[in-house]
Structure formats: C-alpha cells, structure tokens
C-alpha cells in the first residue's frame, strides 16, 4: 500500500536514521521538528507530480493551502491570530506572513474574506429568515466579538448593512452579489 510520496521517502528515512544516532540536544530537537514536517508533507503529497510536469506545487503553495484550509475550518474562533496559527502549523510568524504575502494578502485580509463570505451565506440563506437568528448571533458565529465591528466591516466589504443584505436575501444586484472590498487592504480581522 503506497501512502507516501516516493520522492520524499529516502529523505525522511535518512533524516530519521540520523536522528536516532544523535544525542539529546538542541540540534536533535530541530531535526525532529523538520522530520515531523517532512513526514506530514510526504503523506500530504502521496501522489507525486511527474518531474516533467510543467507546474509543480512548491512547499510554500502547499503551506498556503494548509493555512487557508485551517482558516476556513476555524474562522469562527474569536481568538484566531497569526501567532496562534503559526504555532499550530509549526512555522514562524514571519514565515506565515511571507506565505500570505506571496499570494498578495495578509493573514487579516484572508481571514476577513472568509468571515465576510460566511456572514453573507448566513444572512442570505432562507434558513436565516426562518431560524430566528439575530445579526449579532451571525456576527459571533463568524468570529466577531462585537456586532458593531461586524456591521462596520460588512458595510465596508459589501456596501450595505447586514440587515439590508438579510432583507434582500442575496438577490443578484442587491448589495451582496459583488463584494465592494474583496481583498480590501483596510479589511482586517
């Protein structure tokens, strides 16, 4: 059963062998950390791209996809921060910032876009009107600690208030069909 990327298997095996030969000291901890990261990458990229394939994903692109997926899964967490996400992914804060910068974004912009799109989804869904949820509850479910801050950011992003978006129900051409500030540099989490 092939569960790992065969191109990375020799590298991980060699590092593992070296790690077993090392004494307990700081370099062993660094090597162990790198080995864990490589093993994760090896499993995530188990279907290798042929060497002659014109586009190969770089480690930075894979990391960006992992970070983006993590933000999509955890956008509702009010405590979500760049430092915490970097720590969870075992990368430095500066590396996290560079990864987002390579894609023309900041961490805050990426998180705000996800939160705004989820808020739009909640507010324009038929279930919202039937559920009895308030706009404040939608704000909190989308990771905002304040309804006022949520309303301000929503208006900046979509050009209308959350209440008017909810009452229009996401009808094309009515406020939320095209974000005003998608990727807006002033939109931060």
Using pLDDT thresholds of 50, 70 and 90, give the confidence band for residue 61.
Answer: confident
Using pLDDT thresholds of 50, 70 and 90, give the confidence band for residue 165.
Answer: confident
As given in the structure block, the two tokens for residue 69 are: 């997926």
CA dihedral 26, 62, 103, 33 (to 10 degrees): -10
Contact predicate 36/23, CB 8 Å: no
pTM: 0.64
Q: In this model, does residue 146 exceed pLDDT 80?
A: yes
Angle (deg, nearest 10), helices 59-74 and 107-124: 40
Mean pLDDT on 146-153:
95
d(CA 22, CA 26): 10
Alpha-carbon dihedral sign for residues 147, 74, 176, 106: positive
- Express each pLDDT in 122-141 by its tens digit: 888 877 777 778 899 999 99
As given in the structure block, the two tokens for residue 164 are: 């008017």
pLDDT at position 27 is 63
3-state DSSP assignment of residue 49: coil
């Amino acid at each position: 059963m092939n569960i790992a990327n065969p191109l990375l298997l020799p590298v991980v095996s060699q590092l593992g062998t070296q790690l077993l030969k090392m004494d307990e000291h700081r370099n062993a901890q660094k090597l162990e950390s790198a080995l864990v990261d490589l093993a994760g990458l090896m499993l995530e990229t188990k279907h290798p791209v042929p060497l002659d394939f014109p586009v190969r994903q770089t480690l930075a692109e894979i990391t960006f996809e992992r970070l983006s997926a993590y933000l999509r899964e955890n956008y509702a967490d009010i405590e979500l921060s760049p430092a915490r996400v970097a720590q969870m992914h075992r990368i430095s804060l500066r590396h996290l910032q560079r990864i987002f910068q390579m894609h023309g974004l900041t961490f805050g912009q990426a998180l705000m876009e996800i939160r705004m799109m989820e808020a739009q989804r909640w507010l324009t869904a038929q279930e919202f009107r039937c559920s009895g949820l308030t706009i404040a509850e939608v704000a909190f479910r989308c990771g905002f600690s304040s309804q006022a801050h949520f309303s301000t950011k929503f208006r900046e992003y979509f050009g209308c208030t959350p209440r008017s978006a909810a009452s229009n129900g996401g009808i094309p051409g009515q406020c939320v069909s095209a974000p005003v500030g998608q990727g807006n540099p002033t939109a931060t989490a």
